[in-house]
């Protein structure tokens, strides 16, 4: 059978785009095809990360897509405790990702192409077209999470254009001085320029339901409370990310499923934050490092890597069980407040999903910020 390409990537989101870019860069002769159902690549997202999330040697892959960088570090705010941390912060926008990937891949991007079926060597589109490929990888995002036990990190974010400077110098990763409702609530701020600021109202909640109108109102109320006069809302996005605290990986990705996976579809994210960018970068470069592969080998390689990631994530899932099982929803903020008193290097490794054994012990030891009986109960019998 004649193949149309060597690697067909189903899904032009973060993970799919990074794989296509990495393989195209490291193997200029490889025929890569990126197949996306929407009209643009990357959806409608701002993806942010700390410098320490991505190895300096891997950074080239994402550098051209960084829309904003804050070299001066970032801040957190809790009742009675605020802190400035030195780790520089960066944001990639989906518009930048879309432009960059199209520029690099050119005609090797297929837009508006809805994938209806996959095998290790063929993508079938809903219009009936078959794309024969040397290898296929499924990067179509979340998929079916029924086999995983999840809490949720959910949010609405808006970029506000203000009538006067907002006075915020660096990103505020968590402003948890706001009213605590629907779990752990905080505001996340990204100051784009003097008068534009991204304001996101975020919840660590037991429910994935997102009452968007209420969150929009709370963002407006937060802006008013800061004394900001909003001229326009120039961007809006929303998300409901799984915070995985248990589940059955073999049911999520059955051993006999023969198709390679990437990104959230392979559970390649930090279980406590739902953030996937650090893993997506490492994973894309690993695929490029092992290239060339046929579809069967690519599936074996990606599954064994995802299994390793799942095992390493056991500790973060345990923290998730404590967060969702032990802490009364409106007291969850205490867990984060205590965490943010720890060594900044430990905090960086946590976000990168690279906590050392010492970090793991340090995070759990000391006087618990939530009642110990609840915590022990959560560990023994995790929430359903």
Q: Cβ neighbours of residue 352 under 8 Å, at least 6 residues apart?
A: 50, 52, 53, 270, 278
Per-residue x/- mask for ligand FAD, residues 188 to 217, rule CB under 6 A?
Answer: ------------------------------
- Single out the residue of 276, 302, 348, 355 in contact with ligand FAD (rule: CB under 6 A): 276
Q: Among residue numbers 145 through 164, which ones bind ligand FAD (CB under 6 A)?
A: none
Contacts of residue 175, defined as CB under 8 A and 6 or more positions apart, other chains included, come to 76, 77, 186, 187, 188, 189
Q: Give first-to-last CA distance, the chain, whole Å.
A: 48
Q: Considering only the stretches 95-103, 135-143, 297-305, 322-330, report the one whose residues sit in contact with ligand FAD under the rule CB under 6 A.
A: 135-143
Q: Which is nearer to ligand FAD, 282 or 334 (CB)?
A: 282
One of 134, 191, 242, 263 touching ligand FAD (CB under 6 A): 263
Question: Exactly one of 191, 239, 271, 329 binds ligand FAD (CB under 6 A); which one?
Answer: 239
User: In the complex with ligand FAD, which residue's Cβ is closer, 111 or 342?
Assistant: 111
State yes or no: residue 353 binds ligand FAD (CB under 6 A): no
Of all residues in the shown chain, the one whose CB is closest to ligand FAD is 13
Say how many residues touch ligand FAD, by CB under 6 A. Answer: 31
Nearer to ligand FAD, 20 or 241 (CB): 241
Assign 34 to helix, strand or coil. strand
Residue-by-residue DSSP string for 340-362: TTS-HHHHHHHHTT---HHHHHH
Cross-strand partners of 91: 48, 68
Q: Biggest alpha carbon distance in the chain? A: 67
3-state secondary structure of 308: helix
Q: How many CB atoms within 10 Å of residue 7?
A: 29
- For ligand FAD, which is the closer residue by CB, 35 or 133? 35
As measured in angstroms, the least distance from the Cβ of 285 to ligand FAD is 15
Q: Which stretch binds ligand FAD (CB under 6 A): 19-27, 164-172, 233-241, 319-327?
A: 233-241
Handedness of CA 122, 141, 31, 278 (dihedral sign): negative
Chosen residue from 151, 171, 274, 353 binding ligand FAD by CB under 6 A: 274
Instruction: Pick the stretch among 221-229, 237-245, 287-295, 319-327 that binds ligand FAD (CB under 6 A).
Output: 237-245
* Least Cβ distance, residue 186 to ligand FAD (angstroms): 14
State the number of CA atoms in the 13 A half-sphere of 341 facing the CB.
Answer: 13
**Position among 22, 24, 139, 223 found at the interface with ligand FAD (CB under 6 A):** 139
Q: Measure the CA–CA gap between 296 and 119, rounded to whole angstroms.
A: 9
Q: What share of residues in the chain are helix, strand, coil (percent, to 5)?
A: 35, 30, 35
Query: In whole angstroms, what is the distance from residue 264 CA to residue 262 CA?
Result: 7
| Window 7 to 66, contacts with ligand FAD (CB under 6 A) | 10-16, 35-38, 43, 45, 47-49
Chain residues in the site for ligand FAD (CB under 6 A): 10-16, 35-38, 43, 45, 47-49, 114-115, 139-141, 237, 239, 241, 263-265, 274-277
């Amino acid at each position: 059978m004649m193949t149309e390409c060597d690697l067909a990537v189903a899904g032009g989101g973060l993970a799919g785009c990074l794989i296509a870019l990495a393989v195209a860069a490291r193997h200029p002769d490889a025929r890569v095809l990126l197949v996306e159902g929407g009209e643009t690549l990357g959806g409608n997202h701002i993806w942010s990360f700390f410098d320490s999330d991505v190895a300096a040697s891997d950074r080239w892959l994402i550098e051209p897509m960084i829309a904003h960088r804050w070299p001066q570090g970032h801040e957190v705010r809790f009742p009675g405790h605020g802190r400035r941390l030195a780790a520089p912060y960066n944001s990639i926008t989906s518009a930048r990702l879309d432009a960059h990937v199209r520029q690099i891949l050119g005609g090797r991007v297929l837009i508006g192409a809805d994938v209806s079926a996959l095998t290790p060597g063929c993508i079938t589109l809903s219009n009936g077209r078959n794309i024969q490929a040397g290898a296929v990888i499924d990067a179509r995002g979340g998929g079916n999470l029924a086999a995983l036990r999840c809490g949720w990190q959910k949010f609405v974010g808006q970029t506000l254009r203000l009538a006067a400077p907002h006075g915020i110098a660096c990103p505020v990763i968590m402003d948890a001085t706001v009213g605590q409702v629907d779990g752990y609530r905080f505001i996340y701020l990204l100051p784009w320029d003097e008068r534009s600021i991204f304001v996101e109202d975020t919840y660590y909640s037991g429910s994935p339901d997102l009452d968007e109108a209420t969150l929009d109102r709370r963002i407006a109320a937060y802006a008013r409370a800061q004394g900001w006069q909003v001229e326009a809302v120039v961007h809006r996005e929303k998300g409901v990310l799984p915070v995985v605290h248990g589940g059955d990986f073999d049911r999520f990705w059955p051993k006999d499923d023969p198709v390679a996976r990437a990104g959230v579809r392979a559970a390649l994210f930090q279980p406590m934050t739902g953030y996937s960018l650090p893993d997506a970068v490492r994973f894309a470069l690993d695929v490029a490092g092992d290239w060339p592969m046929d579809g069967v080998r690519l599936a074996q390689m990606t599954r064994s890597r995802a299994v390793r990631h799942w095992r390493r994530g056991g500790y973060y899932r345990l923290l998730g069980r404590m967060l969702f099982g032990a802490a009364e929803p409106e007291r969850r903020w205490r867990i984060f407040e205590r965490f943010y008193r720890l060594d900044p290097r430990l905090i960086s490794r946590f976000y990168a999903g690279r906590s050392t054994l010492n970090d793991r012990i340090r995070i759990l030891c000391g006087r618990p910020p939530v009642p110990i009986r609840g915590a022990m109960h959560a560990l023994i019998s995790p929430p359903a």
